[in-house]
Every structure is written in structure tokens, then in C-alpha cells.
Structure 1
Amino acid sequence: MAGPVYRRVVIKLSGEYLAGSHGAGIDQPTLDRVASDLIAAQKLGTEIAVVIGGGNMIRGVEVSAKGVSRPTGDTMGMLATVMNCLALEAAIERRGTPARALSAFVMPQICELFTRSATHKYLAEGRIVLLGGGTGNPFFTTDTTAVLRAAEIGAHAVLKATNVDGIYSADPKKDPSAKRFDRLTHSEAIGGGYKVMDATAFALARETSLPIIVFSIAEPGSIGAILSGTGRGTIVAG
């Protein structure tokens, strides 16, 4: 059997997805399924790091609209990503696979600080590494965080897990005639204004020559399918 297409990846997972049908908080069956999918994907031979959003807990932009300053609101959102990482770390380890949550913030009583050397070490040990705290700075999304961390740790691709199977010319849930793209360049993704990722993330991926694969995580096993080269998604590269 052929090995995985990518030997080291960063997977970007939205916090909202972890809420399942509840809209907020953490849905345990959804969390458990994601943990199982990550473990199965890792067994293909790929080193996996995960960046999780915090939208199921709190979104900095929404908090800022209610009178909190944007830097404070974004910091609250980044702390929410750490909570999601801790929850996923526990779900993975309950299944017998080692994991390690790292944070962009110094919080030694809770989890270790992110460094490139620590990430390399834990990936080499066979752990799934969960990267919380965003970039540690306000005004940057977790999409940008995923690309930044991928570039820092020498990942070969960023896998953007969404609720649709790729990038479309319009919202396929609203426009049945929307066209799905099999492949785009980074510049085309930026110029098209597609909302699956922010322009800063695409621009950084272009600068660092990192491919981004946009796919649906709704189906069990979808992460492994992408890593095996059999999954359905849109590749943004070149």
C-alpha cells in the first residue's frame, strides 16, 4: 500500500464544528469522532498537528461588537482555542494515542508553551500535537495561525476542514449552480474572494509555497482519505 501523500500536516478545524448541532459548547460525540478520525489518519504514517478555532466558545469579533476592545476580545477567543485543544487532547488520549496541547501563551499550570523544537519532538514521538492560543496576537485568525504554524514546523500541507467538499464559486447551499473547483492557485483564491479562508492565510501560504487542501470533515474517515490521495477537495497551490 502506498504511503500518505503528505508526511506532516497541520489540520485546521473550526471550533463551531465541535459544537455539533448544539450551536455552542462541545458536543461529546462530535469530539470523539474527530479524535478517532485523527488517530486513524495518523496511522497512515503522517505526523499531525491541529489548530482549532474557538467559535464554539467565543468569537473575538462578536465580543468586540458589544463594547470590549478588539485586542481583548481576540485574546478571549484565543483562550477559547486552548480549551478546545485540552478537550481534544483528552479525547485522543482516552483512545490510547498520545497527544500534547501547546499554547502560544505562557500558562505552565495548564499546558506547555508552543515552540518549534517542542513540536518537532512530540511529532517525532508519535503524538498528535494540538496548537492553541492562535498566534498569540490579536487581529489574526486561526486560519492564518494554521498556515503560520505549518510554515514554522516544516509541514507539507495545511488541511482546512470545512462543512463543504471544497471551494465553490458561490455558496452551494444557496446556489445549486455553484461550480466546485478541483484546483486553484493562491492568487486565484485571494482574487476570487472565497470565504473558506481569509486572504491573509492564503497570502502567507503563497509566500511560503504551502498547499492548502479544503475538504469536508462531515464524513468519517475524510482526513485519512485526503492524506491517501483519494479524498474529494480543492487543492490551492502554486
Structure 2
Amino acid sequence: MGTIDGAEQARGGVTYNRVMLKISGEALMGDQGFGLHPPTVQRIAQEVKAVHELGVEICMVIGGGNIFRGLAGSAQGMERTTADYMGMLATVMNALAMQSALEALGVFTRVISAIPMDQVCEPYIRRRAVRHLEKKRVCIFAAGTGNPFFTTDTAAALRANEMGCEAVFKGTKVDGVYDKDPKKFTDAKRYDTVSYDEALEKNLGVMDATAIALSRDNRLPIIVFSLDEPGGFRGILAGRGTYTTVKG
């Protein structure tokens, strides 16, 4: 994993061989207020394919907030554990949609769920998932960690560490981490790099605290970039683009 092979040389010597892409469920709904927007799903699938063609092994975790958010359900009086399990099922729906879009582009994909549901996806078995990656299949990890009270951010950090990923790519609506909301404040400043501790102390909204702490403890960098920028994911791997790196 540490050597530069022909695929890496072709993409300018970038040393990422295996990465985790974390996106929110809201990223799949486009301009709609709810659900899935097929053209948006297809566009993101094209972005993933472009990186896959570089020879990079790709894991994905997709949130479920476009369908159901457990925390919001709990806030409205639903029992938290039940609400979180409903949110996990929403992530499976999103993962299946992304799998369909990727396979329509000729990218072999496996949906791997932390909650067993054998008719629609595989159960999570670490060694099997690693083998899929070695065979250049995209692995989409669904149903979070399989436990309530944990977010898909934490699931992404956990699976990234288990799979031996070299970075977590967090696709957002903005091109990095800012000291305040750039959509509300014109004087917001973007960080090129920020430490894990600073991200936690300043509550910069990179990922949730558990995910950042897990990444920090395992020295896993988090790269925050705009998923709305065409070619942005591939561009970063080629040494271009605007993004923020969270690291020690």
C-alpha cells in the first residue's frame, strides 16, 4: 500500500490507493426537498467512476437524511433507538440507488450492510469486503455501524480504518472547512489544513466528534471538498482543486 505503482504514476504520483468517500443523503436529492433525484445520483456515480478508472480502490458511506433522519425523528417524540434503526434502513435504500447507478456505468459494486438483509445486499464481513476492494469493486457500506446512537460519519471513519483506507474524502456543499458558514458570511475564511483537535475545539462541523476522534487516534486524514464541483473528486487525487485537509 505504500509503494507507487504504475496506476499512481499515471495520476501524477498520488499515493492514495484506497479511500473512503463519505457523502450525505441530502447530496442525492438535488434541488428536491426529499428523496432521490436520479440525475444527481447519476452525476455522483460519474464522479466515482472517474476516480475508479485511476485504479483507486473506493469505499463509500452514504447518509440517509434525504429519506429519514433518526435524530430528527427522536426530536419529534419517537423513541431514539427505533428512529435510528429507521435511519439505517434509509441508508440501505440510498446505497442500492448508488449501486444501480454505478453498475449502469460498468463499475462493479457491492452493497454491504451492517444489518443483515440477504435478499438485497451482503452482510458485513471484513475480510470479504477487503477482497472485493482488491478485485476493484466499489464497496458501499450501509446501515451505519449497525448500532443506534452512532452517525454515518462515525460509520465512515470506522469502516475506513477497518478497510485500511488512506483517507476519508468528505463530499459537501462547500469547498472545504471554514471558520464560519460561507453561505451566510462573506468574510468566512477557508482553512487549507486544520488539526483534529482544532476541528473539535472550534466545532467546525467537519464530521461528528466521534468520527474525528477515531480518525485522530488512527492518524486517518479527512479531506473536505465540494461534491458539487464537477471533477472535484478526481482533481484532488491528481493534485488539483480546492479542499481542506484535517490531520494531526
Q: What TM-score does the superposition give when structure 2 sets the normalisation length?
A: 0.94
Sequence identity (%)? 50
Q: How many residues align?
A: 238
1:75-224 alignment, distance < 5 Å = 75-224=85-234
Aligned residues of 1:55 and 1:77 also touching (Cα < 8 A) = yes
Q: CA deviation at 1:230?
A: 1.2
Q: Secondary structure at the match of 1:35?
A: helix
User: What residue number does 2:77 align with?
Assistant: 67
Structure 1, unaligned runs of 5 or more: none
CA contact (8 A) 2:224 2:245 kept: yes
By how many angstroms is 1:225 displaced?
Answer: 1.0
How far did residue 201 of structure 1 move?
A: 0.9
The answer to whether the Cα contact below 8 Å between 1:4 and 1:44 also exists between their aligned partners in 2 is: no
Aligned partner of residue 43 in structure 2, secondary structure = helix
Checking the alignment, whether the CA contact within 8 Å between 1:15 and 1:81 is kept in structure 2 is yes
Spell out, residue by residue over 1:181-210, the C-alpha distance to the aligned partner (whole angstroms, 9 max, x if none).
000111111111111311111111001110
In the alignment, residue 240 of structure 2 is paired with which amino acid?
A: T
Alpha-carbon separation, structure 1, partners of 2:48 and 2:139 = 11
1:102 to partner: Cα distance? 0.5
Separation in 1, partners of 2:45, 2:205: 26
Deviations 1:21-73 (A, max 9, x none): 00211001000001111011111121000000000000001111222111110
SS in 1 for 2:128: helix
- The secondary structure found in structure 2 opposite 1:184 is strand
Work out the CA distance in 2 between the residues paired with 1:186 and 1:115: 29
TM-score between the two structures when normalised by the length of structure 1: 0.98
8 Å CA contact retained: 2:22, 2:156: yes
SS at match of 2:92: helix
Alpha-carbon distance in structure 2 between the residues aligned to 1:47 and 1:232: 22
> What stretches of structure 2 of length at least 5 have no aligned partner?
1-9
Matches within 5 A, 1:12-27: 12-27=22-37
> Which residue is 1:50 aligned to?
60
